[in-house]
Amino acid sequence: MSARELRTDLAIIGAGPAGLFSAYYAGFRGLSTVVLDSLTEVGGQISAMYPEKLIHDVAGCPAIRGQDLVDNLVRQAAEYHPTYEMGVEVLDLVDEPDGVAVVTSGPTVHARAVLICAGAGRFRPRPLPAAAGFAGTGLSYFASQLEDYRDKRVVIVGGGDSAVDWALALEPIASAVTVVHRRDRFRAHAASVEKMKMGSATLMTPCNVVELHGTEKVEAVTVHDEAADTTVRLECDEVIAALGFVADISVMKSWGMNLLGHKIAVDERMRTGRERVYAAGDVTDGPGKVRLIAVGLGEAATAVNHIAHDLDPDSPLFPGHSTDAH
């Protein structure tokens, strides 16, 4: 464990929409924040799985691209200067006299309160078996900046929504897009698959990437054709392994919270049953729970306002109108 230590009013576990909005609202309420996430980029499942898809059920946005929503949330919170600790795993919560210590694979964060906005829990990409011995660069599990792929030869491995979405998004940007999928049929939305098939991407099915080549950077991949039992070497500049993600909250089960199955049970104040630990968003459960981004954003605001009041009983629960503050 790192010897580095941070101190803050509120530690937010999870950098998805609920976590990012919590960082804004905590700043609005005068609380400092540290946002922690096991992924290396903010945005949670949106950035990892469907950044290019349009989201239609966020209030006030008839349609908004997933990554644009994330970028807007980051800009909204930036006014209050949250500290982001990305690519770290939360290992434990330890009670302290004046709060909770969040023990991570990086820094230990000493917080007056903790807000868990972890979505589906610890979120990790499924590894590409062929990359087990590969130590170079050019392999990624999601494309955070499409411009990074301009005029490059890109190989996308996978057959789900993420793989097809990346193929469609990169087609007008990359010099060549090849999709390698181990089955003849794609799991993605039928309309998206049909659009991909009508485009310029090369589809290789049923095939597997069995080896990555290159010392410092990806230079080529070996693709095995399952039907013909032949292999071909494919020159490329980038590989995106869109094989899905594994998520679980198993590490949280020892944190002393009330659980409902694989979710955290919360009350109307978003309390978890453990002192100074709250939760909001898809990681929570309770009567009538509806898992939508819009609901998670509302729960984030509810949680932060109760946290502000609980930490300082003289502080009003109602935050006032943001229009007045600005």
Residue 202: which CATH number? 3.50.50.60
146 and 186 co-located in one domain: yes
Total tally of structural domains belonging to the chain = 2
Q: What is the pLDDT of residue 1?
A: 43
User: Does residue 277 or residue 262 have the better pLDDT?
Assistant: 277
Q: How far apart are CA 318 and CA 10, in angstroms?
A: 18
Cβ–Cβ < 8 Å for 129, 215: no
> Torsion angle, CA of 110/113/119/125, rounded to 10 degrees?
0
**Per-residue confidence band for 123, with pLDDT thresholds at 50, 70 and 90:** low
pLDDT, one tens digit per residue, over 30-48 is 999 999 998 888 998 888 7
DSSP, residue by residue, 76-102: HHHTT--EEEES--EEEEEEETTEEEE
Residues flagged as binding site: 37, 45, 50, 90, 123, 282, 323
Q: Average pLDDT, whole number, for the chain?
A: 91
Q: How far apart are CA 262 and CA 259, in angstroms?
A: 7
104 and 133 co-located in one domain: no
pLDDT, one tens digit per residue, over 17-32 is 999 999 999 999 999 9
Which of 241, 276, 301 represents a domain boundary (last residue)?
241
Host domain of residue 291: 5-124+245-325
The model carries a pTM of: 0.77
Residues flagged as binding site for FAD: 37, 45, 50, 90, 123, 282, 323
Which of 221, 241, 261 represents a domain boundary (last residue)?
241
Which of 184, 215, 241 represents a domain boundary (last residue)?
241
> Torsion angle, CA of 45/57/197/165, rounded to 10 degrees?
-20
Q: What is the pLDDT of residue 75?
A: 97
pLDDT, one tens digit per residue, over 192-222 is 999 999 999 999 999 999 999 998 999 999 9
Residue 168: other Cβ atoms inside 10 A: 19
231 and 304 co-located in one domain: no
120 and 249 co-located in one domain: yes
Q: Mark residue 273 as left, alpha or beta (left: phi above 0; alpha: psi -120 to 50; beta: remaining).
A: left
